[in-house]
A and B are shown apart, each in its own frame.
Chain A
Amino acid sequence: MMRRAALALLAAGLVGPLPALAQDAPLRIEITEGVVRPMPVTLRFEDAGGAGDLMTDITAIIADDLQGTGLFEMAEPEAAPVSRFDRTVDYIGWKAAGTEALITGQVTVDDDTVMLRFRLFDVFAGQPLGDGMQFVSPREGWRRAAHKVADQIYARITGETPYFDSRIAFIGESGSATERVKRVGVMDYDGAGVKWLTSKDDLVLSPRFSPDGQTVLYTSFASGVPQIMSLDVETVTSTALTRDPRAMSFAPRFSPDGKWIAFSRESGGNTDIWIMEVANPSFAKPITLGPAIDTAPSWSPDGRHIVFESDRSGSSQLYTMRADGSEPTRISFGDGGGGYGEPAWSPRGDRIAFTRHTKEGSAIGVMRPDGSGEDLLSEGGRDSGPSWAPNGRVLIFTRLNPEDEVSHLHSVDITGRNMRPVALNDAASDPAWGPLLP
């Protein structure tokens, strides 16, 4: 009986599980290395009426936006299939041509408006990537419409929040080194459309956008003592938020909900971090106390914490604390003859950017909010003042040329691979990236 049972089990083993072994076990492969190369994409836009040269300008902006990320390259294959906005896409032909994403579009322009329509196709998946969209803008807003299209393409392919249709506040610099003129300006993220917001007579520093992009805080020396000003971007009118002639107030930064401003206040030789209520600026209170210099506050995106710079340990280091000033925690520990400064908390919350000072100069770096994962994104220069793009993947900062002591703006992605100058004719410093425009 037992022998029969054993034989039955053996038989089951022969005819049962074995075919499953043969048919079902997949080949298991592990890929641990990759390549870093831009994705080839092709733009195919058509003039649907009245576009003329504007169509070329619009497609150039879309191409520049995408290529500027370092993630895409414009592919113009010689053997590309004919592609029309209203026709079916020849996926096989585009795949053979080496394009991975195809964007077809139409530009229509009349006296008052510009209309952009586009569709995005994933060539290797052989399907559209999202629905077709159209943007209609006043004729003078064609650049923004182009940025909006690029934003959509970027977001759909990368899954990231876009940032092309955004503005940057900065300090424009002119004049000699001894008589430097500084004024607050705003520009499109790519350096176009510069608009000056303060006069040449007023020495100004550290502009910072409000979360809704309608207000810019900055530090003014007009009264002789640095004070914090609030500037309405639309009406270009400024209001003083601090007025105490015995105290210097500077380095302001809005909380993420726009209701509070953290700033540095120096009085009697001691600098602490204060907060004030936007609706009631006269209500201000310190959240750090002590003889150390505490400055450069930056809020976490949930508004619960603040990162700041302090020399309480003997050298300039970064600390985080709760927004009420409790639980200060040192997060930077590097040496090398310098220190850390100008921290900026990423809008994603996952990184803190900073300026790393060394004997050789200064560089831009990032670390996690607990201080781990420190990584320098630039080297060998005099870089400072990082500010995050709205998606937390790109930084803009000031690079000082030591030969002529003139500053210009540069941007770098979070990997450090895509470093590039901002196309701005003026010397500039102290950039502050604003929110994505509605």
Chain B
Amino acid sequence: MRLGLGLLIFAPAVALAQPAALSPAEKADFVARVQSCWNPPSGTDPTVTIGFSMDRDGRPDPDSFTLLGAADPQAFAAARRAVMLCAGGGYDLPKDRHDAWKRVEMTFNTNGTGDMP
């Protein structure tokens, strides 16, 4: 019985500790912004996963970009350029939930674009 009480305490604690996630609409807006600037390199596999950090104003840290896994260097450069190019003065993300998006892992691939090389 006491163990059951312990589990009740544990469950809400997890919910409190996790950063509130972006809503699907907020995430979709972010995706739309970045993909409007992604110019996949031609003649090479554009698939790449990158990691980067953003400040509370939604501005990517230019020195934070890392390549996660293997990819063509041009794919990495194109992905990085897309994130930087479309950031402008900062992505429109909820400042009060900075913890949820201050670090981003972004995968670029052309699964959704049938005509990409």
Chain A residues engaging chain B, CB cutoff 8 angstroms: 3, 6-7, 10, 13-14, 18-19, 21-37, 39, 71, 100, 124-126, 158-160, 393, 413-415, 417
**Contact for B84 among A30, A124, A393, CB less than 8 A:** A124
Interchain CB contact under 8 A, A31 and B107: yes
Would you give the shortest CB distance from B90 to chain A, in whole angstroms? 14
Would you give the shortest CB distance from B104 to chain A, in whole angstroms? 5
Give A28 to B34 CA distance when docked, in angstroms.
13
Q: Which residues of B contact A32 (CB under 8 A)?
A: 35, 109-113
Chain B residues engaging chain A, CB cutoff 8 angstroms: 2-3, 6-7, 9-10, 13-14, 17-19, 22, 27, 30-31, 34-44, 46, 51, 62, 72-74, 77, 79-82, 84-85, 99-101, 103-113, 116-117
Closest to A36 in B: B39
Interchain CB contact under 8 A, A27 and B113: no
Closest to A413 in B: B42
Q: Which residues of A contact B43 (CB under 8 A)?
A: 160, 393, 413-415
Q: Which residues of A contact B3 (CB under 8 A)?
A: 3, 6
Interchain CB contact under 8 A, B113 and A33: yes
Given the interface contacts A7-B6, A22-B17, A35-B37, does A27 sit within 8 Å of B111 by beta carbon? no
Would you give the shortest CB distance from B55 to chain A, in whole angstroms? 14
Would you give the shortest CB distance from B74 to chain A, in whole angstroms? 4
Q: Which residues of A contact B101 (CB under 8 A)?
A: 27
Q: Which residues of A contact B85 (CB under 8 A)?
A: 100, 124
Give A71 to B81 CA distance when docked, in angstroms.
15
**Contact for A18 among B17, B41, B112, CB less than 8 A:** B17
Q: List 9 A-B contacts (CB under 8 A).
A: A7-B6, A10-B10, A18-B14, A27-B101, A32-B109, A34-B40, A34-B46, A35-B38, A35-B39
Q: Which residues of A contact B44 (CB under 8 A)?
A: 159
**Contact for A124 among B17, B39, B81, CB less than 8 A:** B81
Given the interface contacts A7-B6, A27-B100, A35-B37, does A14 sit within 8 Å of B106 by beta carbon? no
Give A23 to B18 CA distance when docked, in angstroms.
8
Given the interface contacts A28-B105, A126-B62, does A35 sit within 8 Å of B36 by beta carbon? yes
Interchain CB contact under 8 A, A10 and B41: no
Interchain CB contact under 8 A, A14 and B99: no
Q: Which residues of B contact A39 (CB under 8 A)?
A: 39
Give A393 to B38 CA distance when docked, in angstroms.
21
Q: Which residues of B contact A36 (CB under 8 A)?
A: 39-40
Would you give the shortest CB distance from B20 to chain A, in whole angstroms? 10
Give A18 to B117 CA distance when docked, in angstroms.
43
Q: Which residues of B contact A23 (CB under 8 A)?
A: 99
Would you give the shortest CB distance from A22 to chain B, in whole angstroms? 5
Given the interface contacts A3-B3, A31-B106, A37-B39, does A14 sit within 8 Å of B13 by beta carbon? yes
Interchain CB contact under 8 A, B81 and A34: no
Give A13 to B80 CA distance when docked, in angstroms.
37
Give A10 to B3 CA distance when docked, in angstroms.
10
Would you give the shortest CB distance from A156 to chain B, in whole angstroms? 10
Q: Which residues of A contact B31 (CB under 8 A)?
A: 29-31
Given the interface contacts A14-B10, A124-B84, A159-B73, does A31 sit within 8 Å of B42 by beta carbon? no
**Contact for A158 among B41, B104, B109, CB less than 8 A:** B41
Q: Which 7 pairs, one residue from A and one from B, show the smallest C-beta to C-beta distance?
A: A32-B112, A34-B38, A18-B17, A26-B103, A159-B74, A124-B84, A27-B101
**Contact for B104 among A29, A159, A160, CB less than 8 A:** A29
Give A117 to B95 CA distance when docked, in angstroms.
47
Give A14 to B72 CA distance when docked, in angstroms.
42
Interchain CB contact under 8 A, A34 and B39: yes
Q: Which residues of B contact A160 (CB under 8 A)?
A: 43
Interchain CB contact under 8 A, A34 and B116: yes
Interchain CB contact under 8 A, A18 and B13: yes
Q: A14-B10, A29-B107 are in contact. List 12 more A-B contacts (CB 8 A).
A: A24-B103, A28-B107, A31-B107, A33-B38, A34-B108, A34-B110, A35-B38, A124-B80, A159-B44, A159-B77, A414-B117, A415-B42
Q: Which residues of B contact A413 (CB under 8 A)?
A: 42-43
Interchain CB contact under 8 A, A31 and B72: no
Interchain CB contact under 8 A, A29 and B14: no
Closest to A3 in B: B2
Interchain CB contact under 8 A, B17 and A31: no
Give A23 to B62 CA distance when docked, in angstroms.
21
Closest to A159 in B: B74
Give A126 to B62 CA distance when docked, in angstroms.
9
Given the interface contacts A27-B22, A29-B105, A34-B113, does A125 sit within 8 Å of B39 by beta carbon? no
Give A124 to B60 CA distance when docked, in angstroms.
11
Give A413 to B117 CA distance when docked, in angstroms.
11
Closest to A20 in B: B17
Closest to B99 in A: A22
Closest to A129 in B: B77
Q: Which residues of B contact A393 (CB under 8 A)?
A: 42-43
Would you give the shortest CB distance from A360 to chain B, in whole angstroms? 22
Closest to A18 in B: B17
**Contact for B42 among A10, A26, A27, A414, CB less than 8 A:** A414
